[in-house]
Amino acid sequence: MHRPAPPDCTPENLAFDAALAQVLGALSPLPRHHTLALEQALGRVLAQPLVAGMDLQPWPNSAMDGYAFAAADADTAHAAGLQLAGTALAGHPFTGTLGRGQCVRILTGAILPAGADTVAMQEHVTVHDGRVRLQRPVPPGANVRAPGEDVRAGQTVLPAGSRLGPPQIALAASLGVRTVTVGARPRVALFTSGDELTPLGEPLGAGAIYDSNRYLLRALLQELGAEVVDLGIVADDPAAVRAAFAAAREGADVVVSSGGVSVGDADYVRDVFAEFGAIHFWRIAMKPGRPLAFGRLGDTWFFGLPGNPVSTAVTFHEFVRPALRRLEGEAPTPALRLELPLLEPLRKAPGRLDFQRGIVAPGADGRLGVRSAGAQGSHVMSSLAAANCLLVLPADAGDLPAGAVVTVELLPWPGTPRAGA
Ligand code: AMP
Ligand code: MG
């Protein structure tokens, strides 16, 4: 049976790019912010720019183990040599001032003594009887890290919307920043729907399957650091779906469901949602994942993902992931896509934009290429587990020969080798 689409939705088969733009255009960062100690902030998104309160480097210091001297003494340094006046270690400055014809033994990271402006590497000098002679020319200012060379006080080093990885954390720490203000992680209510779904730990009845999407979605959400509210399995019954939405909207920023958004007799999720809220679209011209409902219910966003596990994973990856990142306040960046040659011929039916599971690997010549990860049915989990990328194949493409250049999006989780492959 085909039921008509809800009246408030966009036309069928919205183009992928248009759908993604609609999602990202509709969402804005959550207004909740937290101030965290820097050591708690890995993976979080800055809600305010990080502005340098000091120069980096703070002092002129040596980039090498060697000898610090004044460039004006270079001729003496080559001819008679310079008199060794003391030592500067990292954290233990040379406290005097260099006189003419003098140098100081200096180690990496030590502040340059007053009167010195150049460092000769220790490999480029000889030392005899307290005199240090240059063995080769050293340009003025060599091997000195200048104050503010990396960052100047007052400079914005990380704009709001930056996600904090280890290098960003280290940059903040080098500027003495102890706390950062970050966006809240979205609270996501999750349910799966289908009368065939069985919780793990129970025997499977005839025609039943395990509710793998619950684990898939939980894992995908955990990986993004979302707060997950798991509402369990919801029966193919409008009253049950209504109850699930009523529970889901309690305090959730986003509701994610799987299953029941297609046009089958038992697909109630989209229609029931439309009783409460507005569906922005529900069909996208992509494979897998054509039925994907996106809507809004008050302050809560709704993603009704298709039930086939690979469709669930791909639509989550392409739509829910960027949406959650946006809600957390991350500045939107387009997915990083690479162009790689096919290592083997590839099958593709013309008609829809196709996200095929692939494996990026070196070919026989040692150069990087990409091949199919195996069978591409939207129920085939093993090829999803084997994949480390998605091949993004345009709608009009048909079968492709080995060597054809295709667009590839790396997946953020590791592909596991298949037995026998
Ligand atoms: P649906 O989108 O409800 O029409 O489901 C499409 C296909 O996905 C059917 O074969 C379902 O049995 C399967 N499916 C739906 N939900 C899940 C789930 N939570 N875990 C695993 N497979 C599912
Ligand atoms: Mg179903």
Distance 17 CA to ligand 1 centre (A): 25
Amino acid, single-letter form, for residue 307: G
Compute how many other C-beta atoms are within 10 angstroms of the C-beta atom of residue 266: 15
Stretches in the chain below the pLDDT threshold 50: 1-3, 5-11
Residues 6+ apart with CB under 8 A from 25: none
Which CATH code of 3.40.50.300, 3.90.480.20, 3.20.20.70, 3.40.980.10 fits the domain covering 16-32+184-327?
3.40.980.10
Closest ligand 1 atom to the C-alpha of 261? 2
Question: Nearest residue CA, atom 17 of ligand 1?
Answer: 307
Distance 259 CA to ligand 1 centre (A): 5
Question: Nearest residue CA, atom 14 of ligand 1?
Answer: 307
pLDDT of residue 419: 59
Nearest residue to 182 via CA among 49, 46, 51? 46
Distance 307 CA to ligand 2 centre (A): 6
Amino acid, single-letter form, for residue 247: A
Helix (H/G/I), strand (E/B), else coil: 284: strand
Amino acid, single-letter form, for residue 229: V
**Gyration radius from the chain CA atoms:** 30
Closest ligand 1 atom to the C-alpha of 311? 8
What per-residue string of b and e applies to 145-175 under the rule 16 or more CB within 10 Å gives b?
bebeebbeeeeebbebbbbbeeebbebbebb
* Cα 321 from Cα 277, distance rounded (Å): 22
**Whether the Cβ atoms of residue 354 and residue 396 lie closer than 8 Å to each other:** no
Question: Nearest residue CA, atom 5 of ligand 1?
Answer: 307
> What CATH architecture is 33-56+149-183?
Alpha-Beta Complex (3.90)
CA dist 278 → 85, 229, 233 (Å): 79, 22, 23
Domain assignments of the chain as residue spans, ordered by start: 16-32+184-327, 33-56+149-183, 61-145, 337-410
208 secondary structure, DSSP code: -
Angle at 170 between CA 323 and CA 222, to 5 degrees: 35
For the domain bounded by 61-145, which CATH number is listed?
2.170.190.11
Distance 384 CA to ligand 2 centre (A): 21
pLDDT digits (tens, 9 = 90+) for 225-274: 999 999 999 999 999 999 999 998 888 999 999 999 888 888 899 999 99
pLDDT digits (tens, 9 = 90+) for 177-235: 999 999 999 999 999 999 999 999 999 999 999 999 999 999 999 999 999 999 999 99
Choose one of 2, 191, 195, 197 to mutate for the ligand 1 pocket test, by most ligand atoms within 8 angstroms of C-beta: 197
Helix (H/G/I), strand (E/B), else coil: 301: strand
Protein fold of 337-410: Beta-clip (2.40.340)
Residues 6+ apart with CB under 8 A from 144: 60, 61, 62, 63, 112, 117, 118, 119
pLDDT of residue 12: 59
DSSP string, 72-139: GGHHHHHTT-EEEEEEEBTTB---SBPPTTEEEEE-TTPBPPBT--EEEEGGGEEEETTEEEESS---
Taking CB atoms and a 6 Å cutoff, what residues make up the pocket around ligand 1? 192, 194, 196-197, 209, 211-214, 258-260, 262, 264, 267, 306-309
